[in-house]
Structure 1
Amino acid sequence: MKSKTNINNDNLIKFSSILKDKTNNGFIVLERNDKLPYAVLLKKKKKVDHLFNFWIFCATLGLWSIAWIYITQVSSKAKKILIAIDEDGNPFEEKCYMG
């Protein structure tokens, strides 16, 4: 049976690896607490080049409109997430309200 400090160290290593993966994907850490452990991460919104997308829209005779709408409405929005480890040592991720 593992000791409590061993379990905490394993959870902290797991938590740190998840944070490293997210920061490599473009998120920045807004708040971090290693005692609980949890972190709030933010991914800034991307700027959409509408002129470029319009040219692709014209070249594909309107088929690009579906991708263009998705890029504009979903992919380019800012995202804020909470990453934490629960009592059982399982990592979880939740979306935060951006109000």
Structure 2
Amino acid sequence: NGQDIDLSVDSKVQFFAYQRIRDAVAENKAKAGSVVVLDVQSGEVLALANFPSYDPGNRQNLSGEQLRNRALTDVFEPGSTMKPFIAGLALETHRVTPDTLVD
């Protein structure tokens, strides 16, 4: 109905995230990979990338399996999915700052 939608995705961060997940999948000989980049202050999604991926303008010959968004639909181990929440809690309780190096 003519309403605007404001997206938080940053095209530069999105491009970098896609390049890195593509390279990481190749370097580690993985079947696939996903990356999600969040703004820790606002919770906004800055990037969400999967590899392998596809060209959304040329998807007529792809199956449902090839079109799935792995970052949103695949099951992950709890440790991996909980890290952003743990980091958020650490920031909120002032145990760390955005400049704290975690090794």
Identify whether the pair has TM-score above 0.5, normalized to the shorter chain: no
TM-score by length of 1: 0.28
Q: TM-score, normalised by structure 2?
A: 0.27
Q: Which of the pair is proportionally richer in strand?
A: 1
Q: Which has the greater radius of gyration?
A: 1
